Structure 1
Amino acid sequence: MLMRAAISVLMLAGFYLVAVLQLVGVIALAPWLVSAVSGPVSLTVFALVLGPAATLAAFAIFLAIHTRNERPFGVPAGPDQAPLLWETVHEIAREVVTRPPNEIRLTPHPNAAVSERCRLLGLVGGRRTLYIGLPLIHVFTVDQLRAAVAHEVAHLSYKHTRLSAIAYRGRRAITETLSRVGRFNVAGWPFRAYGSCYFLVDNARRRRQEYEADHTSALVAGRAVAASSLREQAVISEATKIYFFDHVMPGLDAGYAPTDVFAGFADLVTARRKELEETLASENEASTSLWDTHPPLQERIAAIAGMPETSSARDGRPATELLPDATAFGRRLQEKLIDLPTRRMLDWEKFRIETQTAELLRHTDWVLRKVSYHTGIPIPNANAIFDLIAAGRLSEIAQPFSPGVPPEDAGREFAENIEWLLRLAALRSGTGHWQLSWTAPANLTTADGAELPLSDLAVAAVTTGGIARARRRLTELGIDLGAATLSDPTAGAYGTQVVTAVANVEVDDDEYDLFVLDKGLVLVPAPSDADEGKRRLRDLVGSTPAHELALDNWFVSWPEIARADVDRDVPLQVTLTLYTRQRVPIHERWLSETLTKDATEVLIDMLSDLDENPVV
């Protein structure tokens, strides 16, 4: 411990030394430069080389000296709220022979961790916090959770957290200093060289600590359990990415929120375990690096297998036995992570269904709007598109969806868009019902689970002479093409947030305050007097949720915009052309005030980022 502490202190001191030597060198060279070189030249050299070097060195010293403890993350689980969990943690601390954590906090992360608020560069210990990810609790057995906790408590026992306080100063100082150094900044080269050396040494230290903590975990929980805990944690980590990115985030983006965000997590892990394990096996075959902070999983498991076995009791109960109210903790946690008041709360199954429906509506709205825009006639529903195909206009409506493709091929490719419309028609007609799966895309079936031939019917619709046959079969199935209509644009406003705003813009000679949301634009009637515009914007943002702004005013969602023509940047003049062919000219005034300094630039960037709506 003393040797490692000395190395950590020396490494941190080395960073101070690099910064101080560079600063002293600049101070020493400045008088000589002024006396030896002509005034303009010396000023140029100082401005381009010595000045930045001095600034960078001073900044590095400041960062190394001034550090702060990060605020605890997650939600606390006190002894009165989770007595069995606290009892288990204290029991493990006694086995490891160390002071137990002062606090347990639950997080959404697929891991466990510890921290200690140390003093005097980590030489004096302080308040200890144990972090446990709820994904672990939902999947682990009790003995696997004990192994994971023993691993983390071992970091406290070996005083790894004390060393981390010193290392944290160095890593923070080096990382933030190098983030301000350009590739060709000569003043930054010493810091880059030292930073590489520092990270190599520090990462080696961290890998060594992981082996030590694994050793303790195996002693407390047994070799087999410690190894299975590591393997399972890797599976849970991979599953968490899939769960949140594929199943939670799309629903949040659509304006919904589950009553319990972790409700389906254990089911996903169970359903996709084989796939997850195969993914991890392929990743473990990848080469390792000296820059890694953790040893490869297989090497850690092999090291555990080489230890003598201990007579630890097995406990295969679900880890939720130690936290019976895991659902309530999950709800408390999501209140911190998700802006719940702006979203509709649904139970987990309903959340998944509405998420799929929102995705379906997004596609069908796009198809209906685009066909309307390019044909110049209203397209209220899928029936109108079938009428166009029956009238021999398939190539005309399909070509914009497949630019550069021969008309015959474009017509065939349009079947995919027809299928989206048929799915919505089936759902709204009551014929189709969502069949959800963790291992396959959501599908529509009949009430008794029979497959609907929507893909075949979509192909028939774009085949010569097949449109009448497709219509007859849809009628037999009870699917009404008229049910596949455009959705209400304001329905997608839930869960939206204000990005920026511009006061007093003109739209067809009327005054509005323009609010830029992450889901579209809102135009709120405004007084013609531009005074106090910024205050008015702030007051409205502070008093009215973004989705209410959209519901109560003129809301133009991003999917409604066919194109955006920027006629002038300052003051901004942009003309939006909607898929209905309505034109919305937005003119910023010279005296218009903005919520943020870069409001107009942000608006132009967001219009440019629309996949189907390039700024021209």
Structure 2
Amino acid sequence: MGATLRALRALVLLAGFHLLGAILLAALAGVDYLLYLHAPSGVAVKLYVVSVLLAIPLVRGLFMLRTPKGEEPPGLPVTEADEPALWRTVRELADAVGTRPPARIVLTADVNAAVAEDARLLGLLAGPRRLYLGVPLLQGLTEAQLRAVLAHELGHYSNADTRLAAITVRGRAQVLRTIRHFEERADKSAGRERARQEKKNAKALARGKKAKEIDTRHVGLTYRALAKIYIGYAKLYIRATLAGSRRQEYAADDASARIAGRDATASALREIPALDAAYDFYMNSYATLGAEARLMPPRGEFFGGYGRMLSARQLELVGLRADLPTEPSSPYDSHPPIAHRVERIEALPADGRADEARGAALGLLADPDRTLTALEDAVLTEDVLRFRRTGDWQELLDGSMVAKFASLDTPLHRALAMYTKDHPSLAALLKVIDDGQLWQLARRLPLSDQAAEAKGRAFREFTRPALADGLQRMALAELSAHARLSCDFSWSEPVVVRLPPAPDGTEADLDAAVEAAVADHPDTGPLRTLLPAPQGPATRETDAPR
């Protein structure tokens, strides 16, 4: 089926989605007319009210089918004067694909590349084209791999995918938007009812009466029922257009292999999932490390550090490249599984282009450091940009560790606050232990049914891990508060926290000290000897918060 016929089918299915709402409204009107003819007036009026309540979400749903004005994703637009080599590469690839190049290139912070076209008259008339290119791809791919990615995206232009498939994409967006609308309305109704019942219970408790169980199961049923009806049609719509979308991906892969080479295309397909996983790890463990303390990496390093981490963790990436997904991310994913796409490309005959353009793709940028800095201003929120910049990554780690230790709130903290009726502190916890009340305190921890019923040694074994974890973190927080901890920053290894040595100069053993404090017969002596924190650090790895 050609692109035009696929677009026509999508248009018919989208019209059916509109028709579904109209049919449901007509059915309600028909029921109302029958009630008018045959039902007693008192009953009819009550059912008219129900009918109106059912019609309101339907009408809202029809209005939701209007396509909202699209917003361009955040990014850094670059002109040909800004990035001549990148624009030259894109134009060369567009000529090789046999299509019109984009009029606009936008650099983004995503591990992704995409194309779009502002087509008119449902795709019958072409419009301005845009290419979105993620800077993390430039940091992680070779130039040959990047050319393969760009050829794939430009291949969508050559098959009119971006123009005629806009109908399909619009239909999916409208269907899913309408369903989300119904579900959100149902959730809001349930939330209001919950708040009403909670307020009523609070008044009952104030008068000494028993509170009733909160029940919102029957609230928002109208919206949820309509959502299920539309979900059923959405599944039909998406499944009917899915095969065509996946064929488009295969066709774009073939164009990529033809223009950029078999090996570059296959290796790019292997690399992107690995880069995506690594980017998530980088954002969680490095770039946003100081968010709680409102700290930022040095200027240009928020995205720039990703390249440094990739260089330091090459061995870990090897495993990610080999472990390719063999299933779509969801039954409605428009992309075929990566493993299948790689298998198709690697089955092609060798083309002798394995050694082409092996340099880093980042070299296509005129000034990578300038671009990475400008990207921060383009995509980060104003609030994040107001965070204090640190001088280097070590300072960022130190500041974030201090903030995280200062804000610790473990189950042991909460149990201690309930037990002592005072602010939880390490000194208060050690006093509880020395007073022989550790296991009474442990009863205040969140317990499973099995642990709650246990007694004696069995109970101690159930609760000891939580006690040890909380105590260790409280001890580290105490040392941090007195500036007795130091941390080693690394792009390739876990955080290393340096503890002060024991008073006799031997290496501090916090694990042993904590183990002694939560033993069957607790002894806080070893732990107390570590807390004065004499000069001279000893090294250990810990699960300190990051």
TM-score, normalised with respect to structure 2: 0.74
Q: Which residue of 1 aligns with 2:514?
A: 458
Contact 1:445 1:452 in 2 (8 A): no
CA contact (8 A) 1:154 1:213 kept: yes
Task: Assess if the C-alpha contact under 8 Å between 2:119 and 2:125 holds in 1.
Answer: yes
Compared with structure 1, are the counterparts of its residues 178 and 278 closer, same or farther at alpha carbon in structure 2 (3 Å cutoff)? same
Q: CA deviation at 1:25?
A: 5.0
- 8 Å contact kept, 1:89–1:149: yes
2:509 maps to a residue whose letter is P
Q: Which residue of 2 aligns with 1:96?
A: 97
* 1:284 counterpart = 2:325: yes
In the aligned structure 2, how far is the partner of 1:411 from the partner of 1:193? Answer: 50
1:321 deviation in Å? Answer: 0.6
Are 2:398 and 2:487, in contact at CA under 8 Å, matched by a contact in 1? yes
Residue 16 to residue 308, structure 1, CA distance change in 2 (3 Å): farther
For residue 151 of structure 1, what is the aligned residue in structure 2? 152
Deviates most, 72-81 or 174-183: 174-183
Cα distance between partner residues in 2 of 1:57 and 1:401: 49
Give how far 1:176 is off.
2.8
d(CA) in 2 for partners of 1:243, 1:81: 28
The aligned residue for residue 610 of structure 1 is none
Render the CA deviation track for 1:443-488: whole Å, top value 9, x for unaligned.
213799x9752222333455668544555566685389xxxxxxxx
Match for residue 337 of structure 1 among 372, 380, 386: 380
Change in 2 beyond 3 A, CA 1:387/1:86: same
8 Å CA contact 1:429–1:479 kept in 2: the answer is no
How far apart are the structure 1 equivalents of 2:228 and 2:466?
55
1:310-349 residue pairs with structure 2 within 5 A? 310=351, 312=353, 314-335=356-377, 336-338=379-381, 339-340=383-384, 342-346=386-390, 347-349=392-394
**TM-score, with structure 1 as normaliser:** 0.67
Task: State whether structure 2 residue 170 is matched by structure 1 residue 169.
Answer: yes
SS, match of residue 434 in structure 1: strand
Equivalent residue runs for 1:537-548 within 5 Å: none
Matching of residue 240 in structure 1 with residue 241 in structure 2: no
2 CA distance for matches of 1:22 and 1:408?
Answer: 62
Q: Which amino acid aligns with 1:458?
A: V
Which residue number in structure 2 is paired with residue 358 of structure 1?
403
Q: 2: CA distance between counterparts of 1:233 and 1:111?
A: 8
Q: 1:40 to 1:429 in 2, by over 3 A?
A: closer
Paired residue secondary structure (2:115)? strand
* Alpha carbons of structure 1 residues 289 and 133: separation in structure 2 relative to 1, 3 Å: closer
Pairing 1:112–2:116 present: no
Relative to structure 2, which stretch is displaced further, 337-346 or 177-186?
A: 177-186
1:10 to 1, 9, 12: 12
State how far apart, in whole Å, the 1-side matches of 2:252 and 2:7 are.
Answer: 17
The two structures, once aligned, show a CA RMSD in angstroms of 3.9
Q: Matched residue of 1:71: which SS? A: coil
Structure 1 residue 67, shift from structure 2 partner: 4.2
- CA 1:479/1:471 → structure 2, altered by over 3 Å: closer, same or farther? farther
**CA contact 1:142–1:316 (8 Å) conserved in 2:** yes
Shift of 1:222: 0.7
Distance 1:397 1:25 in 2: 63
Q: Which residue of 1 aligns with 2:250?
A: 211
1:226 aligns with 2:265: yes
Separation in 1, partners of 2:402, 2:515: 22
Is the deviation greater in 381-390 or in 426-435?
381-390
How many pairs does the alignment contain?
A: 477
Q: Whole-Å Cα distance in 1 between the matches of residues 89 and 37 of structure 2?
A: 72
Partner Cα separation in structure 1 for residue 470 and residue 330 of structure 2:
46
Distance 2:80 2:433 in 1: 68
Q: Give, in angstroms, the shift of residue 390 of structure 1.
A: 5.4
Give the aligned partner of residue 217 of structure 2. Answer: none
* 1:122–1:166 CA contact under 8 A, matched in 2: yes
1:84 to partner: Cα distance: 1.4
For residues 144-543 of structure 1, what are the structure 2 equivalents within 5 Å?
144-179=145-180, 180=182, 191-259=230-298, 260-272=301-313, 275=316, 278=319, 284-285=325-326, 290-310=331-351, 312=353, 314-335=356-377, 336-338=379-381, 339-340=383-384, 342-346=386-390, 347-363=392-408, 374-375=419-420, 400=444, 414-424=467-477, 426-427=479-480, 432-437=485-490, 441-445=494-498, 452-462=508-518, 467-472=524-529, 478=535
Please point out which of 32, 35, 38 is paired with 2:37: 35
Distance verdict in 2 for CA 1:209–1:467, change over 3 Å = same
After TM superposition, the structure 1 stretch with the greater mean CA deviation from structure 2, 282-291 or 332-341, is: 282-291
C-alpha spacing 1:175/1:167, structure 2 compared with 1 (3 Å): same
CA–CA distance in structure 1, aligned partners of residues 523 and 237 of structure 2: 70
Say whether the 8 Å CA contact 1:112–1:132 is kept in structure 2.
yes
SS in 2 for 1:113: strand
Match of 2:188 in 1: none
Q: Secondary structure at the match of 1:355?
A: helix
Deviates more, 1:54-63 or 1:364-373: 364-373
Greater helix percent: which structure?
A: 2
Distance verdict in 2 for CA 1:99–1:52, change over 3 Å = farther
Measure how far apart 1:373 and its partner are: 7.0
Please say if residues 406 and 481 of structure 2, whose CA atoms lie closer than 8 Å, have aligned partners that are also in contact. no
Distance verdict in 2 for CA 1:22–1:328, change over 3 Å: same
In structure 2, the partner of 1:609 is none
Aligned amino acid, residue 177 of structure 1: T
Partner-residue secondary structure (3-state), 1:251: coil
CA distance in 2, matches of 1:447, 1:324: 48
Distance 2:64 2:416 in 1: 58
Cα 1:23/1:219, change in 2 over 3 Å? same
Q: Displacement, 1:227?
A: 0.9
- Counterpart AA for 2:368: A
Deviation at residue 247 of structure 1 after TM alignment: 3.3
Query: Within 1, Cα distance between the matches of 2:442 and 2:13?
Result: 65
State the 1:375 CA deviation.
Answer: 3.9
Distance 1:468 1:263, change over 3 A: same
Deviation of the 1:234 alpha carbon: 0.6
Partner SS state of residue 445, structure 1: strand
Is the contact made by 2:152 and 2:252 (CA closer than 8 Å) also made in structure 1? yes
SS at match of 2:131: strand
CA gap 1:23/1:372 in 2 versus in 1, 3 angstroms:
closer
Is the strand fraction higher in 1 or 2? Answer: 1
Q: What runs of 5+ residues in structure 1 fail to find an aligned partner?
A: 481-616
- How high is the sequence identity, in percent, across the aligned residues? 29
Residue 115 of structure 1: SS of its match in structure 2? strand
In 1, are the aligned partners of 2:246 and 2:335 still within 8 Å (CA)? yes
Q: Is the 8 A contact 1:394 1:411 kept in 2?
A: no
SS in 2 for 1:9: helix
Deviates more, 1:318-327 or 1:452-461: 452-461
Deviations 1:364-411 (A, max 9, x none): 8997897577446788x7567656655666556666557758586667
Q: What is the correspondence of 1:127-142 to structure 2 with a 5 Å cutoff?
A: 127-142=128-143
Cα-to-partner distance string for 1:504-535 (whole Å, 9 max, x where unaligned):
xxxxxxxxxxxxxxxxxxxxxxxxxxxxxxxx
For 1:420, give the aligned amino acid: R
* 1:338-388 CA-partner distances (Å, limit 9, x unpaired): 313542222333223322332222238997897577446788x75676566
Closer, same or farther: CA 278–41 of 1 in aligned 2, 3 Å: farther
